[in-house]
Structure 1
Amino acid sequence: MAKDITREMAERFSRQIRELPQNKVIQNAMMKNGIKAATINNDAVVSMNHVFSHEIETGKVSNQKQSGRCWMFAALNTFTHKLNAKFRLKDFELSQNYTNFWDKFEKANYFLETMIETVDEPVEGRLISWLLETPQQDGGQWDMLVALIKKYGVVPKQVMPETYNSSSSRELNSLLNAKLRENAVKLRKLHAAGQPEEELRQAKEGMLAEVYKLLAFALGEPPKTFDFEFRDTDKLFHREQNITPQAFFEKYVGFDLDNYISIINAPTSDKPYGKTYTVQYLGNVVGGKPVKYLNVDIETFKSLAVKQLKDNRSVWFGCDVAASSDRNEGIMDTGLFDLEKAFGFSFGMTKAERLDYKDSVMTHAMVLTGVNLVDGKPDRWKVENSWGEKVGKDGYFVMSDAWMDEYTYQIVIDKKYLPEELQKAWEQDPIALKPWDPMGSLAWMH
């Protein structure tokens, strides 16, 4: 039988607080300044030195502003690190708005195709409810960016700069999702009226025309060709005329995207290490590169990141950025806040438990650009964020190795750094996870 809260119970809890005079001081500090500010551990701040034994030269950080395109910024940043070094550029950026346009257009088509595929599913069922909750959003995954680039290439930021709606995406997302849900209604009504699948797809083409117009007005139209002009750090002028976005990526970026794979650390009982996984209904480009992960233990996970960094190559990674972190100090560390000392009780779940019980999930993507090795082992990591220069140390963060263990879930690694047994493991057909599995989360935080 359920038991309610009694007045005596509440009074007993209140007396327990009043018994210790110092609790009043802690209470006042938290009420005035907030929980995090009142409990920050200065020893942790001092220990998180922004100096690293191995660092990649990068430059000025980018700024995604009020949008959830961190995954896109992080991926494009890994490209510009190489491009800036190879062509002697300074603080050059690729257009995040260009990939953003095609991502939203492709996500609209992906959603509508999914609605056609699932027309016989009940609208009140878990699957349709899940799909309708967010028809599209700013967030994404590495493999989704690869699918876009393979199809559309990239362009310099100057060719397709940011707009109000790319930097502050709430209005656009709300309007586009409303239109897509309306389109879902129309498609399901056509099916209920007995229309064949071909009619639904013909109707979908008209819907996509409206989506394209909405995106073109809000974000601008992507260029088909453009002129690339720049002056390098030696003051030499360069010009490339009438180049396509696909040719630009091949010539100036030159990454073999097929070599880069997603490694995860998900220590839950339903995901054995050494197996590959995908997620149902997760993607953007229909027929594009599917999302695929290889799950490994955390020590293997970190050793692969170190190998790539020591080879002077940055590492895209996904994490739960809000956990035990401070954006002003630019620190991510499990010991950053003395919550247990302040409250007198612990906040203690394992990484697997946090995933299983919905306490943590990947929310943000950034770039590893350095690591501090002591006797060959990492104790802290340098992180390039995409929140501008006013947070952290000129936009860069420092992450403790303990935080990496607990709150980092994904890295993208060149296959050549994998030992032979993991390269073989990667070739396995992936196990399909449900759409709501925590490994289906998208990096979106700003």
Structure 2
Amino acid sequence: MTAPATGSDNARTPITTETIEACVRAAQDPQALVARNAVTRSGVDACATDRTKVVATPTVVSHKLDTWKVTSQKKSGRCWLFSSLNLLRDTARARLGIKDFEFSQNHAMFWDKFERANWFLTDIIATADQPLDGRLLQFLLADVLGDGGQWDMAVSVYLKHGVVPKQAMPETACSGNTDDMNPILRTLLRRSALELRELAAAGAGAETLAAAKDDVLAKVWRILVICLGEPPTSIEWTWRDDEGEFHRGGTLTPTQFYDTYVGIDLTQYVCLVDDPRPEHPKGRALSVDNLGNVVGGRRIRYVNTDIDVIKRLAAATIVAGEPVWFGADVTPQSDRDSGLLVSGLYDHTGLFGLDLSTSKLQRVLTGESAMNHAMLFTGVDLDDAGSPRRWRVENSWGEEPGDKGFYTMDDQWFTDYVFEVVVHVDRLPEDLRPALSEEPIHLPAWDPMGTLA
């Protein structure tokens, strides 16, 4: 027996023979045939590459900070930790006299995972009265303990747990390939979420739920230690600088190591975002509900800022000698081999003979684009009038791509695909300063501005 049609079924129209014949005729023009022959042999991007864009994007910039080697996050989603630690090591390099010094990214990830497990379980208890199939619960359960993060989340980790040199907690098989570890953590936490909800439904009090949560955290700790090693409570720090001179730093906790060799007040940095949606005015503070990692840590706060102001502040920071952390949609118009981030690098409109152009607003509204990767600006090319033309980028994908791991971005790509830039609050113009203390516009947990790098 045939099921009755629903309203949505009645609105659907089938593909007819006439529709197919019209499509066949439309794809028979000479341009489409040439494109088909090329693409089926070489692939879309290879055939769509605009050579004039490649030639017009040299890697030389007028202001360049980097003299060091890039790092590699390997098969993990830790770009936000790598890029933020790369920013911090700029100061540590100078204090230690070690050009290629690295902090332990494994140490930072261990504490992020452990703190984020507590954040997740706290959210589960707080939402115990909400339906399991509701949008919020389904969102919270969708990507439990993923690798990605945001600037304020990195700050929360460093402020609470400090940093250590890489040799104090080196990489492991699981830190370099989190696909082995993350499914185990997700299984534990999703099952535990159901158990906590059952306890709450049975009338368990706050103390009982807290004890149950702590029991889960002990299991998370066990998994993390087995996969990543145990984070040191202190280190005996000695090193030899690039001139060969030996130094003895004594016994330091991770927070003491941060204070001694970094010393940057991270509470004085602010994340500027370019949210193009008109309902979120420029100059206003934004925050994303349920987004974070450290309970009691930094609240997620963005200041929605015009992209030209973001560029100006980023360029001024680089000229002053400081790299700049940023987040972007790294996928479109980018070539990993050449290390180019160039708007129009791939002429898909010309290849397919169709208008495939979209605005930043359209891409955000439809979920086509969001901040999904964090990197570090280490250079900028300014013209005679002081306007940026190109940007030099330190990535964390190893030394193979681009200029030994450094990328070159043209200024239009910055406009189109950069979403976040972090600067010191002292650089903010007066009209943006009220956003530092005002109550932010609260965005739901699933908002595009909450996408994790």
Deviation string for 1:30-89 (max 9, x for gaps)? 112210011111111111110001111341000000000000000000111222123321
The separation in 2 between residues aligned to 1:49 and 1:98, in whole angstroms, is 37
Q: Secondary structure at the match of 1:18?
A: coil
Deviation string for 1:106-134 (max 9, x for gaps)? 00000000001000000011111111111
The separation in 2 between residues aligned to 1:19 and 1:151, in whole angstroms, is 63
Of 182, 188, 195, the residue aligned with 1:173 is 182
Of 205, 215, 229, the residue aligned with 2:224 is 215
Match of 1:81 in 2: 90
Match of 2:3 in 1: none
Shift of 1:149: 0.7
The separation in 1 between residues aligned to 2:388 and 2:74, in whole angstroms, is 31
1:203 aligns with 2:236: no
- Residues 219-238 of structure 1 mapped to structure 2, 5 A cutoff: 219-238=228-247
Identity across the alignment (%): 43
Match of 1:320 in 2: 329
Match of 2:289 in 1: 280
1:50 aligns with 2:59: yes
Deviation string for 1:271-316 (max 9, x for gaps)? 1101001110000000101110000111111111011111110000
Contact map agreement 1:329 1:392 (CA 8 A) in 2 = yes
1:9 aligns with 2:19: yes
Of 230, 237, 251, the residue aligned with 1:242 is 251
Q: Secondary structure at the match of 1:158?
A: helix
- Residues 260-279 of structure 1 mapped to structure 2, 5 A cutoff: 260-279=269-288
Q: Secondary structure at the match of 1:287?
A: coil
Match of 2:402 in 1: 392
The separation in 1 between residues aligned to 2:246 and 2:390, in whole angstroms, is 40
The separation in 1 between residues aligned to 2:351 and 2:144, in whole angstroms, is 42
Q: Secondary structure at the match of 1:63?
A: coil
Contact map agreement 1:279 1:291 (CA 8 A) in 2 = yes
Contact map agreement 1:277 1:294 (CA 8 A) in 2 = yes
1:418 aligns with 2:424: no
The separation in 2 between residues aligned to 1:80 and 1:172, in whole angstroms, is 27
- Residues 140-155 of structure 1 mapped to structure 2, 5 A cutoff: 140-155=149-164
Q: Secondary structure at the match of 2:271?
A: strand
Which amino acid letter does the alignment assign opposite residue 222 of structure 2? K
Shift of 1:3: 2.3
Runs (4+) off by over 3 Å? none
Of 418, 431, 442, the residue aligned with 2:452 is 442
Deviation string for 1:250-285 (max 9, x for gaps)? 010111111111000111022110100111000000
User: What TM-score, normalized to structure 1?
Assistant: 0.97
The separation in 1 between residues aligned to 2:288 and 2:399, in whole angstroms, is 35
Match of 2:124 in 1: 115
- Residues 23-102 of structure 1 mapped to structure 2, 5 A cutoff: 23-102=32-111
The separation in 2 between residues aligned to 1:129 and 1:53, in whole angstroms, is 48
Structure 1 residues without counterparts, runs of 5 or longer: none
Shift of 1:406: 0.7
The separation in 2 between residues aligned to 1:244 and 1:295, in whole angstroms, is 37
Single out whichever of 198-207 and 215-224 deviates more from structure 2.
198-207
Which amino acid letter does the alignment assign opposite residue 59 of structure 2? H
Match of 2:6 in 1: none
Of 368, 376, 388, the residue aligned with 1:378 is 388
Shift of 1:421: 2.3
Match of 1:427 in 2: 437
Q: CA RMSD in A?
A: 1.0
The separation in 2 between residues aligned to 1:87 and 1:108, in whole angstroms, is 34
Contact map agreement 1:275 1:426 (CA 8 A) in 2 = no
Shift of 1:16: 2.2
The separation in 2 between residues aligned to 1:289 and 1:100, in whole angstroms, is 17
Which amino acid letter does the alignment assign opposite residue 7 of structure 1? T
The separation in 1 between residues aligned to 2:33 and 2:354, in whole angstroms, is 17
The separation in 2 between residues aligned to 1:250 and 1:368, in whole angstroms, is 24
Shift of 1:201: 0.8
The separation in 2 between residues aligned to 1:94 and 1:394, in whole angstroms, is 20
Q: Give the length in aligned residue pairs.
A: 442
User: What TM-score, normalized to structure 2?
Assistant: 0.96
Contact map agreement 2:32 2:353 (CA 8 A) in 1 = no
Contact map agreement 2:87 2:324 (CA 8 A) in 1 = yes
Contact map agreement 1:58 1:81 (CA 8 A) in 2 = no
Which amino acid letter does the alignment assign opposite residue 72 of structure 2? N
Q: Secondary structure at the match of 2:277?
A: coil
Q: Secondary structure at the match of 2:27?
A: helix
Shift of 1:27: 0.8
Contact map agreement 1:334 1:403 (CA 8 A) in 2 = yes
Which amino acid letter does the alignment assign opposite residue 225 of structure 1? S
The separation in 1 between residues aligned to 2:244 and 2:227, in whole angstroms, is 36
Match of 1:401 in 2: 411
Structure 2 residues without counterparts, runs of 5 or longer: 1-10
Contact map agreement 1:384 1:397 (CA 8 A) in 2 = yes
1:369 aligns with 2:378: yes
Q: Secondary structure at the match of 2:312?
A: helix
Shift of 1:161: 0.4
Contact map agreement 1:268 1:353 (CA 8 A) in 2 = no
Contact map agreement 2:91 2:261 (CA 8 A) in 1 = no
Contact map agreement 1:71 1:365 (CA 8 A) in 2 = yes
